[in-house]
Amino acid sequence: MVSETAKLAKEKGNGAFKAGDYPTAIGHYTTAILADGNDPTFYLNRAAAYLKLGKNEDAERDSTKVLALSPNNVKALFRRGQARRSLSNFDDARQGEDLTHWTLEG
């Protein structure tokens, strides 16, 4: 079960993200992660904020963490692929696409 601190931090992060305040959103998602590091949603949301800021290495790292917690998370595969493409890491980006295809197919 998600702690109340983590839940509140995630809600604040979502509000900041929707307002386009990505650095603040990252801060709130980080607070949620520190309160409950086993919920992949916090890492996934932080990865989205990192992508908005062009912090592709950070987005790739968080997306990979999501996949360690939730191996078939299609959003994490997609976000990691976006980050890798932006980093010109095309071979690894394609690998993620192959995994997404496999996940959806079977």
Mean pLDDT, the chain cut into blocks of 10 residues (106 residues total): 92 98 98 97 98 96 96 94 81 50 41
Predicted pLDDT at 89:
61
Q: Helix (H, G, I), strand (E, B), or coil: what is residue 38? A: coil
Locate the DSSP E strands across 1-106. Answer: none
- Domain positions in the chain: 4-105
Please tell me the distance from the alpha carbon of residue 91 to that of residue 88, in angstroms, as a whole number: 9
Q: What pLDDT is stored for residue 96 in this prediction?
A: 52
Classify 20 as helix, strand or coil.
coil
pLDDT confidence of residue 86 = 83
DSSP 8-state symbol, 87: T
Q: Give the CATH architecture of domain 4-105.
A: Alpha Horseshoe (1.25)
Q: Report the pLDDT value the prediction gives residue 87, as an integer from 0 to 100.
A: 80
Q: What is the pLDDT of residue 35?
A: 97
CA distances from 11 to 60, 94, 97, 105 (A): 23, 33, 30, 33
